[in-house]
């Protein structure tokens, strides 16, 4: 599904636009781009991770140990996410970068989002780590649900996850206010929506085309009007629409048909755009771009040479190029070599993989001999 890399690129650019561009036209800021970028990442995670887990569940039903499959999943997630994350928070702690010192223990435990919610304030160059905490909290819970719930409960459970997140936003608002958005349950509508799409469109289990079409239709019919009303109304956070997070909800609905189309492969101009190699490359290194962008921006903005630059050089361009350059080096020299270790922890047992490679005649002959 190569076009999903392009969606990652657009998601990370939406976050960068808000965090690195200091001055933008008011009309352009009517949409909360950073929140939308984060939500797109979350819906993508729900879709991709649930798809992996559903494929793994199929193997469990075929006789593979569920505990072995859990081990493979968590090791592979560890190899992809932990090395870069811990490298950044350790360097931030050693250099005493703002936001990486007083929250060091919280960052280590992937609890940064709870620290921010309790403090009700952002934490400088480490503020963006709340999203990675939410991701890890999702990874901690979700495999157990997908692997061990009865199959008939998966669809209602995924729907229930979305509904629970919306109800949580309303009920918890009096205690946390807008800061409840950094808590994990507030984002479970995104993960649940992605999970529903994975259930309808998963690879090895055939999927359900009718469910996929229904989800995409609901996403458009509900998402577009909700988006228009929210932009036009500009509701305050304390209002009922604000407490419901109507903009976030609208984007969650809209991202379902977007991801579904990209997973199947858009054609025409959209397909050409999403298949452009530079955009897909940015998507491939988007994790590094996201992790590095605030620390890089913080360091550069506090450097004497930066303020001595000619005024005709846009500061946002300097931030962007430095972040992408660092992320590219990180990907090729650090992340990709570690990521390559995933080959040692495949999602298929060797015996199962060899068995699947045999044709039906060979399997029948083995059964006859047995």
Which pLDDT score is estimated for 117? 94
Model confidence pLDDT, tens digit, residues 186-213: 999 999 999 999 999 875 555 678 889 9
Segments of the chain with pLDDT less than 70? 22-28, 203-207, 237-238, 240, 243-244, 349-370
Which pLDDT score is estimated for 236? 73
* 282 assigned to some structural domain: yes
Q: Distance from first CA to last CA of the chain, Å, rounded?
A: 40
Give how many domains the chain has, as a whole number: 1
Q: Which of 201, 228, 218 is nearest to 44 (CA)?
A: 201
* 180 assigned to some structural domain: yes
Q: What is the pTM of this model?
A: 0.89
* 187 assigned to some structural domain: yes
Name the region of 124 (left: φ>0; alpha: ψ -120 to 50; beta: rest): left
Which pLDDT score is estimated for 305? 76
Angle at 27 between CA 274 and CA 249, to 5 degrees: 60
Domain that holds residue 313: 3-345
Which pLDDT score is estimated for 205? 56
CB 126 within 8 A of CB 103: yes
Gap between the Cα atoms of 234 and 285, Å rounded = 34
Tokens found for residue 153: 């409960």
* Rg, C-alpha atoms of the chain: 22
Angle at 1 between CA 67 and CA 248, to 5 degrees: 85
* 360 assigned to some structural domain: no
* 179 assigned to some structural domain: yes
* 248 assigned to some structural domain: yes
Over pLDDT 70: what percentage of the chain?
89
* 242 assigned to some structural domain: yes
Which pLDDT score is estimated for 18? 85
* 358 assigned to some structural domain: no
Tokens found for residue 79: 């190899």
Taking CA atoms, 164 is separated from 45, 139, 184, 189, 344, in Å, by 18, 18, 12, 8, 38
């Amino acid at each position: 599904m190569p076009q999903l890399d392009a969606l990652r690129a657009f998601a990370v650019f939406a976050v960068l636009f808000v965090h690195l561009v200091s001055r933008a036209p008011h009309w352009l800021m009517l949409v909360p781009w950073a929140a939308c970028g984060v939500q797109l990442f979350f819906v993508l995670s729900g879709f991709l991770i649930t798809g992996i887990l559903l494929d793994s569940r199929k193997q469990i039903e075929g006789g593979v140990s569920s505990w072995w499959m859990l081990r493979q999943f968590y090791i592979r997630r560890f190899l992809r996410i932990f090395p870069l994350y811990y490298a950044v928070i350790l360097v931030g702690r050693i250099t005493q970068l703002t936001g990486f010192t007083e929250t060091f223990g919280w960052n280590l435990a992937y609890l940064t989002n709870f620290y921010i919610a309790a403090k009700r304030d952002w934490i400088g160059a480490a503020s963006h780590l709340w999203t990675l905490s939410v991701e890890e909290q999702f990874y901690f819970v979700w495999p157990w649900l997908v692997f061990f719930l009865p199959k008939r409960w998966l669809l209602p459970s995924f729907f229930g996850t979305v509904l629970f997140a919306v109800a949580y936003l309303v009920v918890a608002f009096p205690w946390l206010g807008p800061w409840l958005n950094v808590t994990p349950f507030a984002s479970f509508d995104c993960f649940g929506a992605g999970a529903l799409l994975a259930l309808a469109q998963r690879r090895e289990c055939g999927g359900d085309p009718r469910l996929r079409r229904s989800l995409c239709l609901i996403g458009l019919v509900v998402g577009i009007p909700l988006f228009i009303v929210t932009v036009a109304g500009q509701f305050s956070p304390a209002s009922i629409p604000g407490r419901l997070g109507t903009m976030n909800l609208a984007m969650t609905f809209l991202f379902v048909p977007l991801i579904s189309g990209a997973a199947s492969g858009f054609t025409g101009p959209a397909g050409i755009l999403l298949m452009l190699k530079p955009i897909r490359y940015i998507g491939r290194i988007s994790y590094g771009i996201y992790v590095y962008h605030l620390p890089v921006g913080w360091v550069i903005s506090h450097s004497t040479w930066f303020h001595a630059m000619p005024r005709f050089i846009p500061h946002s361009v300097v931030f962007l190029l430095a972040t992408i350059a660092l992320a590219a080096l990180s990907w090729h020299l650090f992340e990709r070599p570690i990521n390559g270790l995933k080959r040692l922890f495949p999602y298929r047992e060797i015996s199962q993989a060899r068995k699947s490679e045999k044709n039906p005649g060979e399997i029948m002959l083995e059964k006859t001999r047995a």
